[in-house]
Each structure stands twice: as structure tokens, then as C-alpha cells.
Structure 1
Amino acid sequence: MNEEEVRRFSEENNNIVVDRTFKTENSLPIPKPCPKFIHAFHNYPEILDEIAKVGFEKPSPIQAQAWPVLLSGEDLIGIAQTGTGKTLAFLLPAMVHIDGQPGRREDRGGPAVLIMAPTRELALQIDKEIKKYQYKGITSVCLYGGGNRREQVKVVTEGVDIVIATGTTE
């Protein structure tokens, strides 16, 4: 996308604002959004297959802007309304990250991704979303107070790639 296309994309998507929190004179430019799934995941055909299975037609604004940032290895704070695709915005790059780590997953000694949620309801919702996508055998578990602690410990001990956790029992 050229700068005019980026500006138009922002305007057409609720005037999405993208900026660096700790900007310096040496800061790299912010990666441009990817308005199509293929733009973000052309190197990951299995992810494109999973997206096709769920039937999405195009990335949401938060996804279009988050994926190029996260796939480039940068951190991101994304703020968007409920139901706009934030979970998938960080989930798919997390799966790429897990798969890209050196060595066999079984030999890594623990999960590669920790997702902290403020409530049990949101933690379970994130876990449900993760389980919709089957990418290279990546597994997840949701840990929360009030659940079966023995079963949760067993799953983590046996090996899991993503842990979704909350400290609340509400």
C-alpha cells in the first residue's frame, strides 16, 4: 500500500489510529496494514486454509493492522470494541511464533505463549476461539480458579503450547 492507500484504509475503518508509544528518531516506520489475508499469511498456507474453513472474507481493521506488526516481531497494544477480532489478531501470529521456534515442541520445557485474561469468562472465550483453529498440532489449556486444578496441572505437565489464564474465579 502507498501512503494514500494507508490513509484511505484508516478513514474507511473508523479512522483507525496507529502510532508508536515510545517513538524515537531511530524508530522504524509502522508496518502498513494488510487488507487481505493473503498479504499477511502468504508464507503460511495452513493458516490461510484455517481462515477459509471459518468463512471469513477479509480481516477486520484491528487484524489488518496488527498482523504486519506482530509478524515482524514487534510488540503491540491493540484497542478495539468487543467482537472486532482482537483474539484472532494476536492468535494467528502467536501460532506462527510457536511453530517457528527452534527444536521440537516436546523438548522445549513448557508453553511458548501465555495469555492473561481479566476474567474467567474471557479466558474461556479465548480458549474456545483458539480451539477453532488447527495449526500444526498446537495445543492450549485454560487455567482459572474454581476449575479442576488436578486436571489443569495434568494438561500443563503433559505439554501444551498456549496457556490462557486468569487469577479470578468470577
Structure 2
Amino acid sequence: MTPSYLSHFGLSLASFSKEIADTDLWLPSSKAALVEELCEALRQRVVLTGEPGVGKTCVLRALRHRLPHGGFRLTYCHNATLGRRDFYRQLCLALGLKPSATAAAVFYAVATHVEQLGLERTHPVFLIEARLAHDLRSNHAGPTSRTTQPTLRSLAPLLE
């Protein structure tokens, strides 16, 4: 948006900018209801999907604002079209782990960390970019158990 657009409509910030604070997000009733559902389902498996531009990021930002700060951390991982090793390296960084040189070592670090979170009764949540999850099939065993995408298939045991 250009400054003339902002001044024309009397806006101080760009309306749809990701720089808008989570607390300042406007949610239509449909998105507010979805955030409420996600808050209630935090101890279960949840898959949030949608076409580009429907408001998934907005919903997740609103969810982040509603979560207690002590028990949850929502981290955005971009560049979801990376290869398996780079995807795990990015996941390591998001989890605060030091990424290793080999794919096996990186996967082991993530798996060990998620197991430790389970022992500490911390519920790990993975949000997979839709471009990676184009063939994701949900069932009762877990959200990634039937996927044919190698990166998601390798994460399935961590989520079950």
C-alpha cells in the first residue's frame, strides 16, 4: 500500500500488513469461531488447511494471542518447499536446537526434542505449509500417517 492509499482512507497502518500486532487483528465472526475451536482442541490433533489467502495466518496469529505464554510457542517457518534436510534444519532452528550436518542427525535431534517435550507434558504442534501437505490425508491414527510426501511421512511417528 502506498502512503496516498493510507491517507485517502484515513489509515495509520496498512490494513492487511503482517506487521499489525496480534492484539490489533480484526477477526470476522467466522475466524473468531475458528480461533475458539482451535483453543478448545489444543490437546488433540488439529489440521488447519485452506487455499492461499483465506486467512490461515491471521487465524494462527489470533490463536497465538489467545494462548497462555507459559505453555505454548507458535513459530512461523517459511520456505516450506525446501528439501528434507533443509526442512529439518529449519525445524531445528524453530525449536531452538542446533542443526547438524547430516539429515539423519537433524531428524534425530528433532525426534529426541519432541520425545522430551512429551515427557515434560508439553504438547508439540507442527503446522505444515500447504504446499508440502498437498497430499495430506487425515485419519484417526494421526494427521500425517497416510501422506506420500517423504518429509511429512518421516514426521508421522513423532505425531502419533
The normalised TM-score by structure 2 is 0.30
TM-score, structure 1 as length reference: 0.29
- Answer 1 or 2: higher relative contact order, Cα 8 Å, separation at least 6: 1
